Homo-oligomer: A and B are copies of this chain.
Amino acid sequence: MRLLPHPAAADIELTEVLRALSDPVRLAVVGRLAVRGEMSCSDAGDELGVHKSTASHHYRTLREAGVVLTKQEGRLHLMSLRRADLDARFPGLLDAVLTACSPWPSPVAEPCDQAP
């Protein structure tokens, strides 16, 4: 099992995280990871509407921003949110984003009472 290159928790930068989260495709990936936990790239990228190389590029952006952790197991690349690191560094940020972007039954917040 190999770990891909990641920034250390202390090196995660706010602007990088915000920028990583500011793309609809990446936001969708993050939303899925929040709901389903660790996922392979192919699962995370399913029905995303972009080419697999484009998805791969987004995965790298998320990883390099410190939003997700990616480990290689066999031929799968398993991604998961760096919740603890993000919460420690930017308290409440990830939860707020997930609450704001979630069209799925949310693990992080109460169900939406009013549709936007």
User: What is the chain B residue whose CB lies nearest that of A23?
Assistant: B15
CB atoms of A97 and B23 under 8 A apart: no
Residue A92 is within 8 A (CB to CB) of chain B in the complex: yes
Cβ distance A116 to chain B, nearest Cβ, rounded Å: 7
Q: Which residues of chain B are within 8 angstroms of A3 by Cβ–Cβ distance? A: none
Produce 1/0 per residue, A2-38, CB < 8 A to B: 0000000010001110110111100100000000000
CB atoms of B96 and A91 under 8 A apart: yes
Among B15, B27, B97, contact of A93 (Cβ-Cβ < 8 Å): B97
21 residue pairs from A and B, CB less than 8 Å apart: A10-B116, A14-B27, A14-B97, A14-B101, A15-B21, A15-B22, A15-B24, A18-B21, A18-B22, A19-B19, A22-B22, A90-B96, A90-B97, A90-B100, A91-B96, A91-B99, A92-B95, A92-B99, A93-B93, A93-B100, A95-B96
